[in-house]
């Protein structure tokens, strides 16, 4: 997983607080200089804690493309996963806010780290630790996942499970100054069976959330039968942003199985966006209708490949991350099993056009154990990834981060350690 970081001043004469006034203003920002990268030891057989790596991404620096600092966590088996900031453009007009804390939830430990990136951006340190008991005992939630900063100054984190390992989609709120747990964002009666990602758009008084599955199952790897048994999700949930009530559920069906990453368009006037569905290997567009409710339509479908030498006779693409350029022109996503990153022109929101594709590993490369017997898209299997003259095997593109100006795409490989071990054992090694 990766968080790209530009250490922007907390406030200036040109703005009141962190972030940018508009998405197009963000595209004019200075080039990023650092990236913060959670690195995972879970399921490797090595009893070391996860750590946060600081990577120098300034091409003018003598340490360009090097890890310049490692911040080790104090506990084992956290499974650091998604990270997020304490403040962002949502509180642009608040001069008291500063983007200087990186929130790092442990997906399996239910521990939350608050990292100080402001004092020394090149060597961040732990500012605060919220122990698992804060979530498990106070609010009955577990497995914190995705973090967003709010205009109120609070930090909101989605959760995936309950203390027993069952699925339970909820949201917690942290105080933006003390980072104490304030409680939950919604009432318990509105919690969903499964949780994962969320994205809000206050201008349209809406939030959309997605689903993964039961933590006690996916923590041990992926079993396709569990999806058939209804133990993974396939729905989007629509929330009233003002009242915090869940107002609509949209079942995407098998083609939308395991909808993970959700993105609104960056233009706040646009009441629409996209969600990438991992097992369904599809992208759905969601939008507000003329009646005021929300609807979806499938706009991208990645065809499965018939294969030999793999766990199943057909291999889905497994879309695990999507993102949209700040000007809302391009949609990117990663096919974690097939191994390619794709770029689509979404100028026509309903008919995305594939304009770029790059294979960065995956399970279907030549000279690997898998033979593709039928491929609706490619004439031959892709070549293996070669970096610095060395063939890289056993990894694939997963998390994506696009530079604000849209000129550089950063890619990392790990999805979730038990799934990494199952599908890419060489990555674990």
Closest CA to 327 of 8, 92, 22: 22
Lookup result for tokens 């793999």 = 310
pLDDT value at residue 15: 47
Q: Determine which of 175-179, 274-278, 334-338, 383-387 has the lowest per-residue pLDDT on average.
A: 383-387
Residues 6+ apart with CB under 8 A from 147: 82, 83, 84, 85, 103, 105, 155, 156, 157
pLDDT value at residue 9: 42
> How many angstroms separate the Cα of 29 from the Cα of each of 167, 228, 259?
40, 46, 32
Closest CA to 146 of 175, 189, 103: 103
Closest CA to 17 of 84, 90, 77: 90
pLDDT tens across 41-83, in order?
Answer: 999 999 999 999 999 999 999 999 999 999 999 999 999 999 9
User: Could you give phi then psi for residue 321, rounded to 5 degrees?
Assistant: -150, 145
pLDDT tens across 9-20, in order?
Answer: 454 434 468 889
Distance from C-alpha of 119 to C-alpha of 100, rounded to nearest angstrom: 8
Q: Is the dihedral of CA 406, 155, 91, 185 positive or negative?
A: positive
Eight-state DSSP code of residue 417: H
Question: Per-residue pLDDT for 220 more than 50?
Answer: yes
Q: Where are the beta strands (DSSP E) in 40-124?
A: 51-56, 67-72, 84-85, 101-105, 112-116
pLDDT category of residue 92 using cuts at 50, 70 and 90: confident
pLDDT tens across 2-51, in order?
Answer: 554 444 445 443 446 888 999 999 999 999 999 999 999 999 999 999 99
Give the pLDDT mean for 130-158.
Answer: 96
pLDDT value at residue 6: 42
pLDDT tens across 159-218, in order?
Answer: 999 999 999 999 999 999 999 999 999 999 999 999 999 999 999 999 999 999 999 999
Give the pLDDT mean for 406-418.
Answer: 96
Both structure tokens of 133: 């008991």
> How many angstroms separate the Cα of 333 from the Cα of each of 292, 324, 359, 392?
29, 9, 12, 21
**DSSP character string of 298-359:** EEEEPPPEEEESSSSSEE---EEEEEE-TTS-EEEEEETTTTEEEEEE-SSTTS-EEEEEEE
């Amino acid at each position: 997983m990766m968080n790209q970081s530009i250490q922007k001043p907390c406030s200036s004469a040109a703005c009141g607080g962190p972030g940018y006034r508009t998405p197009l203003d963000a595209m004019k920002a200075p080039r990023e200089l650092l990236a913060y990268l959670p690195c995972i030891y879970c399921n490797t057989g090595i009893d070391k804690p996860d750590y946060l790596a600081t990577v120098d991404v300034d091409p003018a620096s003598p340490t360009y493309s090097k890890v310049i600092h490692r911040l080790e966590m104090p506990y084992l088996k956290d499974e650091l996963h998604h990270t997020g900031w304490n403040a962002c453009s949502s509180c642009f007009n608040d001069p008291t806010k500063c983007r200087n804390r990186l929130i790092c939830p442990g997906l399996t430990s239910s521990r939350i780290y608050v990292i100080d990136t402001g004092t020394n951006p090149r060597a961040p340190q732990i500012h605060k630790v919220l122990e698992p008991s804060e979530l498990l005992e106070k609010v009955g939630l577990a497995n914190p996942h995705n973090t967003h900063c709010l205009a109120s100054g609070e930090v909101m984190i989605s959760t995936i499970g309950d203390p027993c390992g069952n699925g339970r989609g909820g949201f917690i709120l942290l105080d933006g100054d003390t980072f104490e747990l304030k409680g939950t964002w919604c009432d318990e009666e509105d919690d969903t069976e499964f949780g994962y990602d969320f994205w809000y758009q206050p201008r349209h008084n809406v939030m959309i959330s997605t689903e993964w599955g039961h933590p006690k199952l996916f923590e041990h790897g992926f079993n396709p039968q569990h999806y058939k048994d209804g133990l993974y999700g396939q729905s989007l949930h629509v929330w009233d942003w003002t009242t915090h009530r869940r107002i609509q559920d949209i079942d995407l069906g098998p083609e939308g199985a395991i909808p993970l990453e959700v993105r609104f368009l960056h233009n706040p006037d646009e009441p629409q966006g996209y969600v990438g569905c991992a097992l369904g290997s599809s992208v759905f567009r969601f939008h507000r209708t003329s009646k005021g409710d929300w609807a979806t339509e499938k706009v991208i479908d990645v065809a499965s490949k018939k294969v030999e030498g793999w766990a199943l006779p057909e291999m889905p693409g497994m879309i695990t991350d999507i993102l949209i350029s700040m000007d809302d022109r391009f949609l990117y996503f990663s096919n974690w099993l097939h191994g390619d990153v794709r770029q689509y022109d979404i100028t026509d929101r309903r008919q995305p056009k594939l304009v770029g594709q790059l294979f960065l590993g995956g399970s279907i490369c030549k000279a690997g154990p898998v033979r593709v017997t039928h491929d609706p898209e490619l004439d031959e299997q892709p070549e293996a990834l070669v970096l610095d003259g060395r063939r890289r095997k056993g990894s694939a593109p997963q998390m994506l981060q696009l530079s604000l100006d849209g000129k550089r795409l950063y890619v990392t490989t790990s999805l979730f350690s038990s799934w990494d071990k199952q599908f890419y054992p060489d990555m674990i090694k």
